[in-house]
Amino acid sequence: MYLILFGAPGVGKGTQAKKISKEFSIPQISTGDMLREAVRNNTELGQKASEIMKRGELVPDDLILNIIKERFAQADCKNGFILDGFPRTIPQAEGLADLMNQLDLPPLLCLEVAVPNEIIIKRLTTRETCEKCGADYNPANNPAPADRICTICGGKIIKRSDDNEDTIQKRLQTYENQTAPVKGFYEKQGRFYAVDGNKSVDEVYVDLKAILKK
Ligand code: AMP
């Protein structure tokens, strides 16, 4: 199974990708998580990405395509994967298609989770995240425990530095300008489906699975 989970920041891609990853035994590949890890470890990539991420802009395509290429070479990718937060530009989608061809992998299916912007802004301003596994916590439906230790992996729960109102607005603009056009890339191939993300986590998951069964 080779999937892309598509959508604006804060629509719940990471949460749904984790559920799909667990049920279908394929890795979740989140470029955002990989970049945050590089920033924490202060690697060369992390140093290049850090300021760009703080501004809510996109890290250059060549850097992203390099980390994806390295990731695809790892053994856990041999039966498929679910991409979360990638591709985010048309050149990334084209680079991904080339890579899939070179590796002789089947066509990707792109699933969008769609949520209105005013709800995204509310979700992201109140969201907290495990810095280790990327799990999301939110006072509305999944509050962080008092000890601020992730119930899934034992990591530390933090407020992401880009989950503040100014950066959220910028990330949404970046999404509209650079990422939303990627939909057309997969629509043209008949490989694009959208679900309503303004429902409970479990309801969205049921809708996504219904598409996977088609
Ligand atoms: P995310 O965790 O997916 O919301 O990503 C956080 C930030 O990492 C984004 O706002 C971008 O600055 C950067 N980023 C993550 N994935 C990509 C990507 N595929 N292309 C460019 N920048 C990315």
User: Tens digit of pLDDT for each residue in 177-206?
Assistant: 999 999 999 999 999 999 999 999 999 999
Q: Would you place residue 141 in the very low, low, confident or very high pLDDT band (cuts 50, 70, 90)?
A: confident
Percent of the chain with pLDDT over 90: 98
H helix or E strand, kind and range, residue 83:
strand 81-84
> For the chain, what are the domain ranges?
2-115+176-212
Who has greater pLDDT, 214 or 78? 78
Nearest CA to 110 out of 4, 7, 1 is that of: 4
Which CATH code fits 2-115+176-212? 3.40.50.300
Q: Which ligand 1 atom is at minimum distance from the Cα of 33?
A: 2
Q: Is the CB of 32 under 6 A from ligand 1?
A: yes
Residue 168 CA to residue 171 CA, distance in Å, equals 5
Query: How confident is the model at residue 214, as a pLDDT?
Result: 77
Q: Which ligand 1 atom is at minimum distance from the Cα of 55?
A: 12
Q: Is the CB of 31 under 6 A from ligand 1?
A: yes
Residue 18 CA to residue 51 CA, distance in Å, equals 27
Mean pLDDT estimate for the chain: 96
160 among known catalytic residues: yes
Q: Is the CB of 86 under 6 A from ligand 1?
A: yes
Alpha helices in the chain, H assignment, sequence order? 13-24, 31-40, 44-55, 61-72, 90-102, 117-126, 165-174, 182-187, 201-213
Q: Which residues contact 99 (CB under 8 A, 6 or more apart)?
A: 65, 68, 69, 72
Mean pLDDT for 66-91 is 97
What six digits make up the tokens of 151? 């119930």
Nearest CA to 138 out of 28, 32, 15, 20 is that of: 15
Mean pLDDT for 74-80 is 94
HEC string of 100-136 equals HHHCCCCCCEEEEEECCHHHHHHHHHHCEEECCCCCE
191 among known catalytic residues: no
